[in-house]
Chains A and B, each alone.
Chain A
Amino acid sequence: MTIAISEQVPRTVHGFDYTRVVLYGFALALVLLIVLPMSWLVYYAFSSPSGGITLSNFTRLFSESTFIDPLITTFVLATSTSVICCIVAAPMGWLVARTDMPLRRTTRLMVTASFVTPPFLGAIAWELLAAPNSGLINQAYRVLTGAPADDHLFNIYSFAGLTFVIACYTFPYVFVLVANALDRTPGDLEDASSILGGSAWDTARRVTIPLAMPAVLAGALVAFLQAMTLFGSPAILALPAGFHTMTTKIWSLFQYPPKPELAAAAALPLLILTVLLLRAEHMILGRRGYAVLGGKNSDPRIVPLGVLRWPAVLLCFGILLCPVFLPYGALFNAAFSRIASQVISINNFTFHNIYFVFFELSATKLAFYNTFVLGIATATLGTILALVISYLTTRQAVAGHRVLGFLATAPVAIPGIVLGVGLFLSYTRPPFVLYGTLWILLLAFLTLSLPAAYQQMQSAFRSIHPELEDASRILGATRLRALREITAPLLRTSVIATWCFVFVGTIRELSAAIMLFTSETKVISVLIFDLNESGDLAAISVLGIIMLIITFGIVALANRLRIGGGPVRLRNY
């Protein structure tokens, strides 16, 4: 790389060091983003409606069955989801990373598709598929077997149904972690095992599986977290089945008459558990040396599957039926059918649903506008924040950079609904009254997307040697100028990729938005949720398909740019 140096080398100016200002500025911004809402949350959790400090919220929380039941439900739900995800995703990850199974790339692509599908949309699609009576699968089952009219194969409005749907959109987290770990694990150790006479099974049992174990465990924790903090799917599937999870309970506490103190108290356990689990994940994955061995790494060893090649493909695609093919099919069907539960035929094919969404539904335009404004603003600001903070931390540019790094990662531990409650409590009162504006949603989305953006940018920075910047600095450029003119151009693709991922993550956010929206600041995800409550499934399908098209467009764009830096952790809502 050559760097053009302008003719007139500027005199070295020992002027005011702006880095300090930048540091404090950003630290302050992060504190406002994270510490303020969380402090209000804690304050409310310990105060009584009439004012004054009390523990009564927690005594109620841990003594009344209306609170204990959701706590237990959530715990069981998260555990079972996590187990299912590991059972399904770990073998799939291995097949894709370490075997000669055909269509490996397509499989990865399809997992990405389930990764970016908004879980609440998946839940609604599964209502269309597996509602006990009207669900397409159950209808087909009755037609095929001649079972009586109220017999059914699946009931999606059940604990098992909810677990299944959440697992559908959570297993990609485990898959990505496992597949990446196996991608990076060199084949030497396995080769050594074979050379020393180990059978294929011995090698797998004593080498490959132990090497992949940390990734599986980390995946299990992430899956647990996702299932625990998810709002949309339980709200859609658990309420009709007659039970609450913690997230839906917290949300219901804001219905009239609102009980913010109890909601805050109920949000705290979620927050604490998330922090603990993330610590655990860090401890597991933090023990490096497991996978990446450096030095003379050989390529991962590919296991020939022989006659099992095509059955393996079938298995993968069979699994992918659940999160991708079937739900997409159901949404597509409902979008063009007069009755959402009927398969499209000449008799009931209609464009009316599309017409309705675009020309009759007066909330559509505003929701799209808000979603795009927020998506673009969050992606842009989030990327800039992440860029500057990762510069400061990777280059250790200022004292206190560790604090910045910590603050930028901290929101990972804040479930969307908890942040929603915290922001609601902080910004509906002076001095910052932001409720009712897009700003409060921007704050929420920015906070939620910052960790992923930061992680992305940080690994991008690590891949660029600081010598280029040093050269520029030696020639007299300030830090900001070096950043702007040297580093930024080198990071262009990473920046664009990060932008895309933040955008995609933002437009599908529901759990914080549901706490913070007003009629003027409704976004598409909230609109879809509203439509679900009034049973307008066809309109949802149309909106959902548009959302998916936009998402895939952006993801395709980001993928074309070939981002390095490993998996992006999209939040699941």
Chain B
Amino acid sequence: MSRKVSRRDILLKASSALAATTLFAQPTRAAAPPAEAVTLALIEAAKKEGKVVYYTSIDLLLAEKIAKAFEAKYPGIAVRVERTGAERVFQRIGQEYSSKIYAVDVVNSSDAAHFIAWKRDGILQAYVPEDVAKFYPAEHKDPDGLFASFRVGMSVIGYNTSLVKAEDAPKSFADLLDPKWSGKMVKAHPGYSGNVMSATFEIVRDLGWEYLEKLAKQKIMQVQSSTDPPKKLALGERAVMVDGNEYNALQLKEDGKPVEIVYPTEGTPMAVGPNAIFKNAPNPNAARLLQSYMFTAECQQLVIDIGALRSVHPSAKEKPGRKPFREIKVMKDDPAGVEKAAEEIKARYSKTFGV
């Protein structure tokens, strides 16, 4: 039933400054539809629809900020943000579509594997925004024009600076197995968070299940969203986080909260979060307009500045003071691999960690 998505290793291009992903690796087949500029007609049609619904797994604050920026640029089109964990987004859309409920216009998920599944189901709408056609490297856009990388996120280790001294802080995943961290760590759930799903896949691939089994004995506080562990650090609820969004941690740190980031020596798990439109979008024009907007340098700059995420748009500038992406050793992401392993990971994770 499931066709195997062909894989082809792509060499890391220095210019893209991003790890290559197999997500976009496709045999050269059908060409992507031509890029579509934002026309007055599109704006008018979108205004007639008056609203657009965005299912996303990015942090609520960033999602709402982007929504407000879009509404300011195109008055009369209200954006409704439906934020939940990537795995929940996937479940929700699956549940809604199987009941023939078409509520979602534009989707973003931090688990790129979902886009492979949606593409296979044929429910995505091909649409290539101008910026994507012009500026986005090939490995960050679907060859058939169905989706493109809206953001790149990482799952990092972190600690609360008032509870842990810098010299005592863990440097690697291996350090987290030290008994001194028992009962002091917080961790998000791959059954909820796409970012953590990717991270778990990469950790299992590189370090093995044995690692997670040992980690599970450390009396972890298990939360759901990968946005939550950094917040738990900031509250002072736990001293160390095993995983969690780099971007939330950066935001909190830059806001003066006692949060510090550790890029583990084994490599930092990463996850690409694409954006796509659905064929059955109830507001197809507003969906196109929003999709276009989200890939502009303007919005991508918001993704960096407010979201503290990484962007693929070459004109978007990294914020000074943050470790540049190219200097971070990452664990290579593999959406196709995640897609195949997701179910097993969820089941085995639940068994290992008890929830």
B350 within 8 A of A: yes
Q: How far is the CA of A150 from the CA of B100 in the complex (A)?
A: 50
Knowing A519-B55, A533-B225, A536-B60 touch, does A243 contact B99 (C-beta < 8 A)? no
A530 within 8 A of B: yes
Knowing A66-B350, A134-B237 touch, does A534 contact B81 (C-beta < 8 A)? no
CB neighbors of A among B205-263 (8 A): 220-225, 227-228, 231-232, 234-239, 257
CB neighbors of B among A406-447 (8 A): 428, 433, 435-436
Q: Pick from A242, A258, A360, A530: contact of B354, CB below 8 A.
A: A242
CB distance from A332 to the nearest CB of B (A): 17
Q: How far is the CA of A433 from the CA of B96 in the complex (A)?
A: 11
Note all chain B residues with C-beta closer than 8 A to A363: 80-83
Kindly report which residue of chain A lies nearest to residue B237, judged by CB atoms. A134
Q: Is A150 a contact of B184 with CB atoms below 8 Å?
A: yes
Note all chain A residues with C-beta closer than 8 A to B176: none
Q: Is A362 a contact of B227 with CB atoms below 8 Å?
A: no
- Residue tally, chain B, CB below 8 Å to A: 61
Q: Is A339 a contact of B237 with CB atoms below 8 Å?
A: no
Q: How far is the CA of A531 from the CA of B61 in the complex (A)?
A: 11
Q: How far is the CA of A231 from the CA of B65 in the complex (A)?
A: 32
Q: Is A519 a contact of B88 with CB atoms below 8 Å?
A: no
Instruction: Kindly supply a per-residue 1/0 record for chain A positions 318-357, scoring 1 wherever the CB is within 8 Å of any chain B CB and 0 otherwise.
Output: 0000000000000000000001110000000000000000
Note all chain A residues with C-beta closer than 8 A to B228: 533-535
Q: Pick from A238, A240, A243, A519: contact of B223, CB below 8 A.
A: A240
Knowing A134-B235, A239-B355, A256-B94 touch, does A535 contact B223 (C-beta < 8 A)? yes
B53 within 8 A of A: yes
Q: Is B91 a contact of A534 with CB atoms below 8 Å?
A: no
Knowing A257-B343, A519-B53 touch, does A131 contact B237 (C-beta < 8 A)? yes
Q: How far is the CA of A534 from the CA of B163 in the complex (A)?
A: 23
Main secondary structure of the interface of A (DSSP, over half): loop
A172 within 8 A of B: no
Kindly report which residue of chain B lies nearest to residue A342, judged by CB atoms. B235
Q: How far is the CA of A150 from the CA of B228 in the complex (A)?
A: 20
Kindly report which residue of chain A lies nearest to residue B100, judged by CB atoms. A433
Q: Is B225 a contact of A436 with CB atoms below 8 Å?
A: no
B101 within 8 A of A: yes
Kindly report which residue of chain A lies nearest to residue B55, judged by CB atoms. A519
Note all chain A residues with C-beta closer than 8 A to B32: none
Q: How far is the CA of A433 from the CA of B98 in the complex (A)?
A: 11
B6 within 8 A of A: no
Knowing A239-B355, A256-B87, A535-B225 touch, does A518 contact B96 (C-beta < 8 A)? yes
Q: Is B103 a contact of A520 with CB atoms below 8 Å?
A: yes
B95 within 8 A of A: yes
Instruction: Kindly supply a per-residue 1/0 record for chain A positions 373-404, scoring 1 wherever the CB is within 8 Å of any chain B CB and 0 otherwise.
Output: 00000000000000000000000000000000
CB neighbors of A among B332-355 (8 A): 343, 346, 350-351, 353-355
CB distance from A393 to the nearest CB of B (A): 37
CB distance from A255 to the nearest CB of B (A): 6
Knowing A257-B343, A362-B80 touch, does A133 contact B96 (C-beta < 8 A)? no
Knowing A258-B95, A340-B235, A341-B236 touch, does A362 contact B67 (C-beta < 8 A)? yes
B108 within 8 A of A: no
Note all chain B residues with C-beta closer than 8 A to A519: 53, 55, 80, 82, 92, 96, 103-104
Knowing A363-B81, A519-B53 touch, does A428 contact B99 (C-beta < 8 A)? yes
CB distance from B318 to the nearest CB of A (A): 26
Instruction: Kindly supply a per-residue 1/0 record for chain B positions 76-119, scoring 1 wherever the CB is within 8 Å of any chain A CB and 0 otherwise.
Output: 00111111110110111011101111011000000000000000
Q: Is B235 a contact of A239 with CB atoms below 8 Å?
A: no
Q: How far is the CA of A258 from the CA of B99 in the complex (A)?
A: 14
Instruction: Kindly supply a per-residue 1/0 record for chain B positions 109-152, scoring 1 wherever the CB is within 8 Å of any chain A CB and 0 otherwise.
Output: 00000000000000000000000000000000000000000000
Q: How far is the CA of A319 from the CA of B94 in the complex (A)?
A: 46
Kindly report which residue of chain A lies nearest to residue B160, judged by CB atoms. A133
Note all chain A residues with C-beta closer than 8 A to B53: 519
Q: Is A255 a contact of B227 with CB atoms below 8 Å?
A: no
Knowing A436-B99, A533-B228 touch, does A66 contact B351 (C-beta < 8 A)? yes
* Contacts A150-B239, A534-B228, A535-B223 supplied; 5 other A-B pairs, CB < 8 Å: A134-B232, A150-B183, A339-B235, A518-B96, A534-B59
Chain A residues proximal to chain B, CB less than 8 Å:
66, 131-134, 149-150, 157, 238-244, 252, 254-258, 339-341, 360-363, 366, 428, 433, 435-436, 518-520, 530-531, 533-536
Q: Which A-B residue pairs are the 6 nearest by beta carbons?
A: A436-B101, A535-B228, A256-B91, A134-B235, A535-B231, A134-B237
Sample of 6 A–B contacts (CB below 8 Å): A132-B237, A133-B237, A255-B88, A255-B91, A428-B98, A534-B227
